[in-house]
């Protein structure tokens, strides 16, 4: 607010002129990966290059058509890989834009939140503790303590004020304390930060731990596959088959069977999951945190605005020993309470709105106080601006109070107005108002007031105390001491309608919800009980209790506590550590600058998208775009789904690869003709490892995923019998496929016909298996095959492809296939079906035994 009115800032027209002249507030970005580089990277594999070279050599000395087709298949596979990687890059780029810094700016007299890149010269910005300064600027009102270590290396905060020359602030530095209005002086590359061209990136690009583990596994599997392929090649050559043909078969088999894309599966699944989470209002800043979400066993959530609606209204006012439930003449007579609650208050006006409630832009608590005393903007602005602001001490989470020194328009004297937690105001008070007179605040009176506060708190009401002072205002170190207690009000902030259901859902999923708040113990308990977070006061711990406890003592009781009340950010840090020491995977929410250490310490740090400070957002792994607790639960559920989808993907990919390798290996061991040609091997890879596998990444069949406890943090991706399933199913695919080939030869079919049958069996058995991978607990006969439309569509496309190369003459010539009759299809379907029946039967038997 202005001394005699509102700050207006630039007009829309001035902004447009300045943007044209000075450009955007943007630091030049690092060189991005080009589309061409992404495409080339698809060929950046030694086996691909060996296959291309071998194919070219084979074409020169033999079948040119085969060589061309092999190269075309390689290119098609590369294009599919390029499309997926390009989509992933675009998704991550979108996330960077979404999580880019925002800033509060005043334009046309209205306070707005805009992307920092949209700032221009002479813009008027509002900065508060926790904000990252978005451009170089000069403070024109207020005081800020700024961390300039990013530029100077000095970790000590620097005080900036409009009252001296130290009023320049710089892009990238952090407001640690205070509140100020500043005018932008430089933007983009002309800022101090721009001169050194160094800006923090918003999206963390750390590798997922799961991805790193799969990279290690992939290297082992590469060696195993190469050895088997070498054995197949050597045996074939030893049996007198063409060296060139066997080398092509060996390399083609290696290209098709080596799971070089295994680590990429994780990135694809995580990127798809992040996009889905964003639709549910959860912005993931660090991809590895998606993996961790599924392990979450504790969610520590702020109360106000996260578990509650953050739509506050004043319910009762207490002064001079009496409680008033609504605006009455007596309330209006107590002018000092009105002064404290309205003048010790910061707000702005949105002139574009007509409704009074929509015109007020303020913290929900301060908005509730304004709406209690006023019902139109003109009277509010006139009243507020009549008190000339001399200085202020912003709200602090440790002090739990805020103060302002103003010039009283009636007496022209200075007066300090303070509001905050009632017990803190009482602690700083030496006197109280009784019938308009200032009298000593006795212990008996203090206890009487505290009892009234507790009575209101038991109703779930949040209480706010008020005090003032007229003397000794020059002593800055003791400015808030020896106050006169004026009274307090109670404010209702009802729980969100969906919070209770989300808490119950957490219980069913083995996740404990912990409420953390700065509110009174009784207020916190009343809300927590309503939400079914706790049942008794013995499950509530206060900040004072924590102060008296050692870390060891806190660790002993932490598992029995569900509510932490009147806590400070340093208490939050100790709470997170205590839960982690007990083996829990902890998600912690926060919004203020002092919450950053606890957010960083948590396994999943969660910042508020609406109320959160820049510092907290940068320390977090996830941002709640709607500040809603149920969004956290949705994100945890999505994290569990993503992890299961990765397991499905791995199960399908490795089972199929084992089946392909085993088919060729068994043929070599039994001295059979090659059951597949190099082109046919690569076609299997194209038809089965592409679209069907990717469709598993968006599968939604998850067997009541939120009715099971969280998985252990260090659980192997192959735990709970996944390796057993992969090996068993892969062996069945390989054995059934080679049996198709053997029976075809036994019945006297031509080798070309037998290979066509083998190719059809291998492809169809894998396409059947992709449906089995939808569930780890249900058999194929219990799965809803139609629940994943992408999977269904991809399987249909693959089936059309196999029919196309079998019956269309042009493709028959290329892939060396031929028409197969009903008997031959019967053999193919029999052995493809045997796999599914055997696998499902094995699953049912195992389930009965367990």
* For range 570-596, the mean pLDDT: 90
Pair 696, 645: CB distance under 8 Å:
yes
Could you give the count of Cα atoms lying within 13 Å of 716 in the half-sphere of its Cβ? 7
pLDDT tier for residue 237 given thresholds of 50, 70 and 90 = confident
| pTM of this structure | 0.78
Give, as one character, the DSSP assignment of residue 34: P
pLDDT at 2: 38
What would the pLDDT profile of 393-434 be if each residue is shown by its tens digit? 888 777 889 999 999 998 899 999 999 999 999 999 999 999
Selected residue with higher pLDDT from 185 and 704: 185
Q: Which segments within 187-312 are labelled E, that is strand? A: 282-284, 298-302
What would the pLDDT profile of 167-196 be if each residue is shown by its tens digit? 889 888 888 878 889 999 998 888 877 766
pLDDT at 763: 94
pLDDT at 124: 93
CATH of domain 313-492: 3.40.1110.10
503 φ, ψ (degrees, to nearest 5)? -65, -45
pLDDT tier for residue 685 given thresholds of 50, 70 and 90 = confident
Instruction: Please confirm, yes or no, whether 440 is among the known catalytic residues.
Output: no
CATH of domain 12-26+101-196: 2.70.150.10
Instruction: State the chain's mean pLDDT as an integer.
Output: 83
Whether the predicted pLDDT of 247 surpasses 90: no
* For range 76-85, the mean pLDDT: 65
Whether the predicted pLDDT of 847 surpasses 70: no
Lowest mean pLDDT, pick from 182-191, 431-440, 498-507, 831-840: 831-840
How many Cβ atoms are within 10 Å of 756's Cβ, its own excluded? 27
pLDDT at 738: 94
Selected residue with higher pLDDT from 843 and 801: 801
CATH class, 227-281+635-849 region = mainly alpha
Selected residue with higher pLDDT from 257 and 676: 676
Could you give the C-alpha distances from 91 to 150, 283, 291, 302, 696, in angstroms and in order?
A: 29, 12, 17, 30, 19
pLDDT at 94: 58
Q: Give start-end residues of each CATH 1.20.1110.10 domain in the chain.
A: 227-281+635-849
CB proximity list for 276: less than 8 A, separation 6 or greater:
638, 698
Q: Which fold has domain 284-308+495-627?
A: Rossmann fold (3.40.50)
Strands 282-284 and 563-565: unpaired
Residue 816, judged by CB atoms within 10 A of its CB (0-12, 13-18, 19+), counts as buried
pLDDT at 702: 74
**Percent of the chain topping pLDDT 70:** 82
pLDDT at 718: 85
Selected residue with higher pLDDT from 220 and 153: 220
Alpha-carbon span 56 to 72, nearest angstrom: 12
Q: Give start-end residues of each CATH 3.40.50.1000 domain in the chain.
A: 284-308+495-627
Q: Give start-end residues of each CATH 3.40.1110.10 domain in the chain.
A: 313-492
pLDDT tier for residue 681 given thresholds of 50, 70 and 90 = confident
Alpha-carbon span 635 to 276, nearest angstrom: 9
Selected residue with higher pLDDT from 19 and 201: 19
**Percent of the chain topping pLDDT 90:** 37
Residue 43, judged by CB atoms within 10 A of its CB (0-12, 13-18, 19+), counts as middle
pLDDT at 752: 96
What would the pLDDT profile of 753-802 be if each residue is shown by its tens digit? 999 999 999 999 999 999 988 888 887 777 888 888 989 999 999 999 99
pLDDT at 573: 92
pLDDT at 202: 44
Number of residues in the chain: 850
Lowest mean pLDDT, pick from 149-163, 690-704, 742-756: 149-163
Q: Give start-end residues of each CATH 2.70.150.10 domain in the chain.
A: 12-26+101-196
pLDDT tier for residue 314 given thresholds of 50, 70 and 90 = very high
Which one of 302, 346, 519, 591 is the catalytic residue?
Answer: 302
Q: Which pair of structure tokens corresponds to residue 134?
A: 């978005």
pLDDT tier for residue 3 given thresholds of 50, 70 and 90 = very low
What would the pLDDT profile of 110-162 be if each residue is shown by its tens digit? 888 888 889 999 999 998 887 888 899 999 888 888 887 766 655 567 888 87
Selected residue with higher pLDDT from 692 and 587: 587
Q: Which pair of structure tokens corresponds to residue 129?
A: 């503790």
pLDDT tier for residue 386 given thresholds of 50, 70 and 90 = very high
């Amino acid at each position: 607010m202005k001394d005699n009115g509102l700050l207006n800032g630039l007009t829309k027209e001035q902004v447009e002129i300045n943007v044209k002249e000075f450009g955007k507030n943007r630091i030049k970005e690092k060189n991005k990966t080009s589309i061409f580089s992404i495409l080339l990277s698809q060929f950046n594999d030694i086996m691909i290059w060996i296959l291309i070279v071998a194919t070219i050599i084979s074409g020169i000395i033999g079948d040119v058509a085969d060589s061309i087709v092999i190269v075309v298949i390689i290119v098609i596979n590369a294009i599919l890989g390029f499309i997926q990687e390009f989509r992933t890059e675009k998704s991550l780029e979108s996330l960077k834009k979404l999580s880019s810094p925002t800033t509060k700016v005043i334009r046309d007299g209205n306070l707005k939140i805009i992307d920092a890149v949209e700032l221009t010269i002479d813009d008027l910005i509002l900065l508060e503790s926790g904000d990252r300064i978005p451009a170089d600027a000069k403070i024109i009102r207020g005081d800020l303590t700024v961390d300039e270590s990013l530029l100077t290396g000095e970790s000590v905060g620097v005080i900036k004020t409009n009252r001296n020359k130290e009023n320049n602030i710089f892009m990238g530095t952090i407001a640690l304390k205070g509140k100020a209005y500043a005018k932008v002086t430089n933007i983009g590359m002309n800022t101090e930060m721009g001169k050194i061209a160094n800006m923090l990136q918003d999206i963390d690009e750390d590798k997922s731990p799961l991805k790193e583990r799969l990279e290690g596994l992939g290297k082992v599997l590469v060696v195993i596959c190469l050895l088997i392929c070498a054995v197949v090649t050597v045996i074939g050559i030893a049996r007198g088959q063409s060296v060139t043909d066997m080398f092509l078969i060996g390399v083609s088999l290696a290209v098709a069977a080596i799971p070089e894309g295994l680590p990429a599966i994780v990135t694809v699944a995580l990127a798809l999951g992040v996009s889905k989470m964003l639709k549910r209002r959860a912005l993931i800043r660090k991809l590895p945190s998606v993996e961790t979400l599924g392990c979450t066993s504790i969610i520590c959530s702020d109360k106000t605005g996260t578990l509650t609606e953050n739509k506050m209204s004043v319910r009762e006012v207490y002064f001079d020993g009496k409680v008033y439930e609504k605006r009455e003449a007596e309330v209006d007579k107590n002018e000092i309470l009105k002064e404290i609650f309205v003048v010790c208050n910061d707000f702005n006006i949105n002139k574009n709105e007509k409704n009074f409630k929509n015109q007020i832009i303020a913290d929900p608590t301060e908005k509730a106080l304004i709406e209690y005393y006023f019902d139109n903007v003109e009277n509010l602005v006139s009243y507020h601006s009549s008190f000339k602001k001399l200085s202020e001490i912003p709200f602090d989470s440790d002090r739990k109070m805020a103060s302002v020194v103003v010039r009283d328009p009636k007496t022209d004297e200075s007066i300090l107005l303070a509001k905050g937690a009632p017990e803190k105001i009482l602690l700083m008070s030496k006197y109280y108002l009784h019938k308009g007179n200032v009298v000593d605040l006795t212990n008996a009176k203090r206890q009487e007031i505290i009892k009234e506060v507790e009575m209101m708190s038991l109703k779930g009401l949040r209480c706010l105390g008020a005090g003032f002072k007229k003397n000794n205002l020059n002593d800055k170190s003791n400015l808030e001491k020896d106050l006169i207690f004026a009274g307090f009000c109670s404010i209702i902030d009802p729980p969100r309608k969906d919070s209770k259901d989300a808490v119950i859902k957490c219980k069913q999923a083995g996740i404990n919800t912990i409420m953390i708040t700065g509110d009174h113990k009784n207020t916190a308990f009343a809300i927590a009980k309503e939400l079914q977070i706790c049942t008794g006061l013995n499950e509530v711990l206060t900040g004072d209790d924590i102060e008296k406890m050692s870390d060891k003592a806190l660790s002993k009781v932490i598992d029995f506590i569900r509510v932490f009340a009147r806590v400070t950010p340093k208490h939050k840090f100790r709470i997170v550590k205590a839960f982690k020491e007990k083996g829990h995977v902890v998600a912690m929410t926060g919004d203020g600058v002092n919450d950053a250490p606890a957010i960083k310490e948590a396994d999943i740090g969660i910042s508020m998208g609406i109320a959160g400070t820049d510092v907290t957002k940068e320390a977090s792994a996830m941002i709640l775009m709607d500040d809603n607790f149920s969004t956290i639960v949705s994100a945890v559920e999505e994290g569990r789904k993503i992890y299961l989808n990765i397991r499905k993907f791995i199960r399908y990919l490795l089972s199929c690869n084992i089946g392909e390798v085993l088919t060729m290996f068994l043929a070599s061991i039994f001295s059979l003709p090659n059951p597949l040609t190099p082109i046919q091997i690569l076609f299997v890879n194209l038809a089965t490892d592409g679209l069907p596998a990717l469709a598993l990444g968006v599968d939604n069949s998850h067997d009541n995923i939120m009715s099971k406890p969280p998985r252990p943090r260090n659980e192997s991706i192959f735990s709970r019998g996944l390796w057993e399933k992969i090996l068993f199913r892969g062996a069945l695919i390989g054995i059934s496929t080679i049996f198709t080939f053997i029976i075809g030869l036994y019945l006297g079919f031509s080798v070309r016909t037998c290979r066509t049958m083998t190719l059809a069996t291998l492809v169809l058995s894998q396409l059947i298996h992709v449906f089995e991978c939808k569930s780890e607990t249900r058999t194929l006969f219990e799965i809803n095959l139609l629940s994943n439309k992408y999977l269904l569509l991809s399987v249909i496309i693959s089936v059309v492809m196999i029919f196309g190369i079998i019956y269309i003459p042009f493709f028959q010539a290329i892939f060396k296939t031929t028409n197969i009759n009903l008997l031959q299809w019967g053999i193919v379907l029999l052995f493809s079906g045997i796999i599914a029946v055997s696998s499902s039967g094995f699953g049912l038997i195992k389930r009965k035994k367990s």
